[in-house]
Structure 1
């Protein structure tokens, strides 16, 4: 039998940098497949799953392996051309970057066409993309009561209040046994206050038990837009759960009648604060959805808007690319200080930052945190880094910014929303089903296979970039149009499924006594 005719590498795999040592499989590559890469013929030795890496050259043990033109790890054994490169032969490399500050700044010029959306203009000048009544608990002990109140305003009960997006109970697992002046106590209070003052919350009922350490007054004592309607109830003072539910239903009904009078107005796109997050990443994340979202970020920066990258453990290993874009040494050093804090934090918990990626990430083709981070930072486009914020800190700068959050999706997005994000874009390769009330969440699939399998849970498909039917530029423009439509009231698939009530998950730090 004649030897199989070699196929061009580009028909079966993506080469992301001209000097890369690996390419990313566009489909499952079967053993025996012969690929031509320049003058080199390589034979696939064992199955290489879609999204995984195939070696393009001989790589002796201990060789640094490059993807995106950057190091993603070192080989732990000899690798031949055509071999599958993954956890069995590739491991974490030491991170020994020499940091530069502001040496790769790109000032995005203002857009010539000024874009708009229809939002709710608040008294402090912020703009909401939704109009919710929130029920926020100061302590976990009030969670069930809050849900009982909110459940009275689901379905047909909201027909009497057109223009109100709903009543959402924002409950959590903390608030007692946590010293208010501790780092964890301050962080929780900052998160609660951020949600209470969010422009998507037209009115808020703060609900407590009465004996907790993080008391109701510590939440309502924060700064609110002057037009935010605020009520508070304490279960022990009301006489128990039944009495509190009756009082809460009465209070919420009164809030709804007032909030229902508010109307959308046309505002410039500069009023957008777009949270950039990813979850369930795969080998395509850094090739399709993330760079497309990065283009969207740049387009919004050109409009004078704000975009916020997050997930500090998932930029580890690529932080040197962000410090080069910092507007000042101070901003770049602030990012490095947060990375240093994380090293100590995970070490105290018996881990290291290279414990990431997750099993699902690895099944999707990501091997080391270096590889994952290089793809993750692509969500931030090319604009200069204007500011770095701590978790749930109010985002005030325009332009591309960063917030220190964990990589755990609900906790990360909770911080972004508390900081003021009024739309979230969430890229996923494995298939996340996240919702983020009271903020709309646009989910973007990184590959067509997953998009087709989970079509009812995805808003957009970036897989066409790998398929050759779409471009990063074209999809970035489409994401921008979707962001403006969603900001104007178009529901996302998560909202159609009424997701997001359980994804309010404040980051818990410190000892609980």
Structure 2
């Protein structure tokens, strides 16, 4: 990243020498002279938005990050604001150049460590919860009632004897019936439930159903190769004799799990046991300049220590996927990613939608114009590491290194898939101020700019606005984020955990017809 200066200090950021735009570091008014670019600003340019560095003819491509972010929908004058009124999507050819930029993975000399919880089967947890899952929406109320009984803020005596247990959480959803019993949607839901039921951050899990739903618990256990045990109990409202008896039974089963869960202790373990889900939500024009590349620098560090990072949100890499296929370790891995892109193009066409419905209203207010621009900034979260594997939604992640999981761009659905895949930490960048957290995995919130940090500090864990102002480099912030990852994995509570986020943010991807 190169920062340019005008007479009154640094006012714009140039990201690549071939770019047709620069980014306003602060609000610019008409008549401002940007000496380093030799241009005069025309009209008001909000912070994080784009300024044309030269005249651009209608239909011509516009570049940021050295890549195409759209096409001029009308002539654009030098110094003019470049945004939704004069920049639009368009088709163009991407050179996938499979494996062309694969590089040897740097290996750290000394392993980074964190204080993790080692389960009896060797899996490593970062938190220690009891979970209550549901097979169908019909059992959501009883699941929440059981969890409510153990809330520390209302009934502190319930968990007082169990200081090593982080809590009892109910993760409910709105589906599970009126679906094709052999369809993709039900398969995906069952895979998601199984991923949570076996997540290392849960010391014990209850799965509760109604009894007559399409998503039968027995079928979930069969298809996902799960077996009941002291740590996994299942039952239904109908078999238990109704609501009141189901709640009483659930409370009794949770109480039986708590003593064993409380035996958990933290021990030093290498960072190779971390699976970090990468998320960005409420993005702005600074996301791809500060927080996302800083997180990417942290990811490269994590991978050098043998850890795993999960990049997701397929619609938010659209138009930038060629930057990942070039880093795919094999052509087969690269083609898996391309196949998912093609699936999304077909999915949108069938539903008479467009992939450019992303970015959102808030993204656009923050300076992003097209999904191409958002994707190029979002992909920076992946750093520079090789792409090792591509997974379907909620599929168990087994590979080490940088992997991709196919998910929607909607953050709760995307993160739910990552956690089902095994993510034991989430790193979530935001420029507009997304309020988010998930259970049982802690979510680390990373602000892109100083204004957000000052306004919403109680929701943010770390501020990358210092990159925009020049106080810190991307690499320096990457090191801080990596160290904070280790601290959070060791038990330091994130801001979202303090606020109690997590139970309502469990949102499995609902796909396929509801009848």
TM range (shorter): over 0.9
Q: Deviations for 1:229-257, whole angstroms, at most 9, x for unmatched residues? A: 01112101111000111111111111112
Select which of 102, 109, 116 maps to 1:105: 102
Output aligned runs, 1:359-398, within 5 Å. 359-398=361-400
Are the counterparts in 1 of residues 228 and 234 from structure 2 also a CA contact under 8 Å?
no
Select which of 142, 145, 155 maps to 1:145: 142
Residue in 2 aligned with 1:341?
343
Residue in 1 aligned with 2:447?
445
Q: Deviations for 1:55-90, whole angstroms, at most 9, x for unmatched residues? A: 111112122111101111111122122110101111
Output aligned runs, 1:206-225, within 5 Å. 206-221=207-222, 222-223=224-225
Residue in 2 aligned with 1:458?
460
Output aligned runs, 1:106-255, within 5 Å. 106-155=103-152, 156=156, 157-221=158-222, 222-223=224-225, 229-255=231-257
- Structure 1 runs of 4+ aligned residues shifted over 6 Å read 225-228
Write the distance in 1 (CA, Å) between the matches of 2:496 and 2:66.
Answer: 36
Write the distance in 2 (CA, Å) between the matches of 1:10 and 1:203.
Answer: 57
Select which of 33, 51, 69 maps to 1:54: 51
Write the distance in 1 (CA, Å) between the matches of 2:137 and 2:269.
Answer: 38
Whether 1:31 aligns to 2:30 is: yes
Residue in 2 aligned with 1:433?
435
Write the distance in 2 (CA, Å) between the matches of 1:228 and 1:330.
Answer: 41
Write the distance in 1 (CA, Å) between the matches of 2:261 and 2:220.
Answer: 21
Residue in 1 aligned with 2:503?
501
Write the distance in 2 (CA, Å) between the matches of 1:218 and 1:135.
Answer: 18
Are the counterparts in 1 of residues 230 and 257 from structure 2 also a CA contact under 8 Å?
no
What is the TM-score when the length of structure 1 is the normalising length? 0.96
Write the distance in 2 (CA, Å) between the matches of 1:398 and 1:337.
Answer: 22
Which structure 2 residue ranges, 5 or more long, are not aligned?
none
Write the distance in 2 (CA, Å) between the matches of 1:106 and 1:8.
Answer: 41
Say if 1:391 and 1:290 are closer, same or farther in 2 by CA, change over 3 A.
same
- SS of 1:277's equivalent in the other structure is strand
Q: Deviations for 1:444-490, whole angstroms, at most 9, x for unmatched residues? A: 00111011100000001011100111110011000011000000100
- SS of 1:160's equivalent in the other structure is coil
Whether 1:17 aligns to 2:19 is: no
Select which of 325, 344, 352 maps to 2:354: 352
Instruction: Give me the CA root mean square deviation.
Output: 1.5
Say if 1:10 and 1:61 are closer, same or farther in 2 by CA, change over 3 A.
farther
- SS of 2:160's equivalent in the other structure is helix
Which structure 1 residue ranges, 5 or more long, are not aligned?
1-5
Write the distance in 1 (CA, Å) between the matches of 2:377 and 2:348.
Answer: 22
Instruction: Give the paired residue count.
Output: 506
Whether 1:268 aligns to 2:265 is: no
- SS of 2:206's equivalent in the other structure is strand
**Once the 2 structures are TM-superposed, how far is the Cα of residue 121 of structure 1 from its aligned partner?**
1.2
Name the stretch that deviates more: 99-108 or 413-422.
99-108
